[in-house]
Amino acid sequence: MDAPEVIDSLEDLRLTGRIGYVPNRYTVPLTQGIDINDLIRGDGSMFETDLNDMAAFEDEEESQYFDSEDVFQQLNYEANDFGDDSGSDRDDDLTPFQRLARGMEDLTGDGGVLKQILRKGTGPVVPEGATVRYHYNGYLEFNDEPFDSSRLRNKPEIHKLEENILGLYLGLRTMRKGEKAKFLVTPEYGYLEMGCTPRIPASAKVRRMTNLIREEERKQASFEQLLKVANSEREAGNDFYKRKQVHRAVGKYLKAIKLLENCHLQNADQERWMNEVLLKLYLNAAHCFLELAEVKKVLTYARKALGIDPKNVKALYRMGKALQKQGEFDSARDKFKKAQYYEPNNKAIKDALIELDRKVSQFKSLEKQTFARMFAPAKKEQGKDEKSVQAPVDLEAGKKEVLIKQLREFKEEDGTKEIFFPTTLTQHERAYIKQTAQELGLKVEGKEGTNKELRVTKD
């Protein structure tokens, strides 16, 4: 039997050291167990080592996770506070990580993620959504060997920024290309209460040494290529529209719009070329949304078109049509008049103004009928004149404009808290009032069915 190993200090009892991790360092397999009672009585005990198991143990010592020499290169004595023997600026009541934290920047405001720059980087900080490439070593307190290391694997980590643990994500967001920094991360920003056994205990604070190699650069298409793709999408949208597939057409237009709105321009010529294509796309999108009766989107893309060309007749015309559908007749007339000013002989604009006048006339007539019915008795006697009093209401032709205008005026009038609608409304009219009021953020009270009064209120 070999002579027992001499232990000069408690440090020698560590299961890890500069030779690497030694599994079962002080465990020897025996052929038979030892009777503890023999030892207590002082009679001694005979034992024999199991040579077969000893060979397996020796094989285990050789199968370390990391090579011992490589581990030695990555030892970090700050985790044990072995790096400073001068005794200066020391406080024996503090743990190594607590001493380390005193010279670090608090990134989260609650001490959850601390940072210290070891080597400055260059360029901008890592943007949201970026893919990053970096090396790192992770350490636990009181342990100078890394629990994980991309350097020992000789393979840098490549992840999208948001795929990292929260603490590392927050740290990487502050780094620049080539920067080297160390971070202290509390369990709340790291591996939480569960840890990541067997390497990371539960509720463990960890220290990471991180070197940002670079933000992975995506291959950027040239402006000419983007413009070509956008025009291709626009033409595909035109084909869908010709086949009366309006939803698919507008999808193509929006895809091209997003592509161009997010591209990076290098000069005024590129901006001019981009705006020429965007103007066509905005007008096409507004036209499609007008057919789909999505009024808000019509206004959005018509305004974008006017931002490029304030005198664009098509944009003014389509905005006027959308405003008319909303019951905003004065604003609609203003847009039609501006369009007519730039193109006096445009037949579509003349027809739109004629239709608007008819709508306004119809609106005034319907408005009178509505208010008359609001104050009319719920039940009327049968008679010859009943039909003349209760004129039929064509909801599609003009009733919507009347109701929208009444609800909008009520919403904008500060002094009025509630408005009542007559009991004589049809079921369809009542449903439309409820839907429109809810869209405007108003509250509707009233029981289902006809001959029930509707009360609309606002906060």
Report the DSSP pairing between strands 113-119 and 148-149: unpaired
CA distance 339 to 343: 6
Alpha-carbon distances, residue 30 vs 34, 44, 45, 48, 49 (angstroms): 9, 16, 13, 6, 4
Whether residue 384 is contained in a domain is answered as no
Q: How far apart are alpha carbons 283 and 306 in whole angstroms?
A: 9
Candidate from 327-341, 344-358, 385-399 with smallest mean pLDDT: 385-399
In this prediction, residue 369 carries a pLDDT of: 59
Rounded to 10 degrees, the C-alpha dihedral 127/133/139/144 comes to -140
The percentage of residues in the chain with a pLDDT greater than 70, rounded to a whole number, is 68
Q: Characterize 436-446 residue by residue with b for buried, 16 or more Cβ atoms within 10 angstroms of its Cβ, and e for exposed.
A: bbeeeebebeb
Confidence class for position 339, pLDDT limits 50, 70, 90:
very high
Average pLDDT of the chain to the nearest whole number: 75
| Rounded Cα gap, residues 361 and 459, in angstroms | 33
pLDDT of residue 156: 87
Q: What is the pLDDT of residue 56?
A: 52
**DSSP character at residue 196:** B
Q: Residue 372 domain-assigned?
A: no
pLDDT digits (tens, 9 = 90+) for 26-38: 466 677 777 777 7
Distance CA 371, CA 420 (A): 10
Greater model confidence, 150 or 380: 150
User: Is the Cβ–Cβ distance between 27 and 60 less than 8 Å?
Assistant: no
CA distances to 125, 138, 149, 174, 398 from 118, rounded to whole Å, are 16, 16, 18, 13, 72
SS3 label, residue 410? helix
What is the mean predicted confidence (pLDDT) over 306-329?
91
Residue 217, in any domain of the structure: no
Contact in structure between 56 and 19 (CB atoms under 8 Å): no
Q: Sorting pLDDT into bands at 50, 70 and 90, what band is 50?
A: low
| pLDDT for 9 | 45
Measured CA to CA, the distance from residue 130 to residue 114 in angstroms comes to: 22
From 143-147, 153-157, 383-387, 424-428, the region with the lowest mean pLDDT: 383-387
Q: Are residues 176 and 285 in the same domain?
A: no
Which domain CATH number covers 198? 3.10.50.40
Show the domain range for 164: 96-212
Residue scoring higher pLDDT (439 or 116) = 116
Most confident of 40-49, 181-190, 204-213: 181-190
Where a domain ends, among 185, 212, 239? 212
Residue 171 pLDDT exceeds 80 = yes
Given pLDDT bands bounded at 50, 70 and 90, which one contains residue 367?
low
Residues 159 and 291 in one domain: no
352: in domain: yes
**Which of 96, 131, 125, 363 shows the shortest CA–CA distance to 207?**
96
Q: Which two tokens stand for residue 273?
A: 């070329």
Share of the chain above pLDDT 90, in %: 25
What's the CA gap between 209 and 76, in Å, rounded? 10
Q: Is the pLDDT of residue 60 over 60?
A: no
Same domain for 247 and 312? yes
Q: Is the pLDDT of residue 108 over 60?
A: yes
Model confidence pLDDT, tens digit, residues 141-156: 877 778 788 888 888 8
Nearest-angstrom CA–CA distance, 361 and 398: 10
DSSP-assigned states of every residue in 345-378: T-HHHHHHHHHHHHHHHHHHHHHHHHHHHHTS-S
Residue tagged 């971070």 (tokens): 183
Same domain, 238 and 328: yes
Statement: residue 167 has pLDDT above 90: no
Q: Per-residue pLDDT for 456 more than 90?
A: no
Q: How far is 393 from 426, CA to CA, in rounded Å?
A: 9
Instruction: Indicate the number of domains in the chain.
Output: 3
What CA–CA distance (Å, rounded) separates 87 from 388? 104
- Mark whether 118 and 229 lie in a shared domain: no
Of residues 51 and 163, more confidence is placed in: 163
**Where residue 387 falls among pLDDT bands split at 50, 70, 90?**
very low
Q: Residue 10: is its pLDDT beyond 60?
A: no
User: What pLDDT shows up at residue 208?
Assistant: 66
Q: Is residue 5 part of a domain?
A: no
**242-286, pLDDT tens digit by residue?**
999 999 999 999 999 998 998 888 889 999 999 999 999 999 999
Nearest CA among 149, 155, 179 for reference residue 72: 149
Same domain, residue pair 280 and 333: yes
128 shares its domain with 259: no
pLDDT at 94: 82
- The CATH number for 231's domain is 1.25.40.10
Q: Which residue has the higher pLDDT, 353 or 395?
A: 353
Q: Quick one: pLDDT at residue 245?
A: 93
The CATH number of residue 418's host domain is 3.30.1370.50
Over range 300-327, report the average pLDDT: 93
- CA pair distance 158, 104, nearest whole angstrom: 26
| Cβ pair 208, 182 in contact under 8 A | yes
Residue 440 contacts residue 406 (beta carbons within 8 Å): no
Q: CA 190 to CA 165: how far, in whole Å?
A: 6
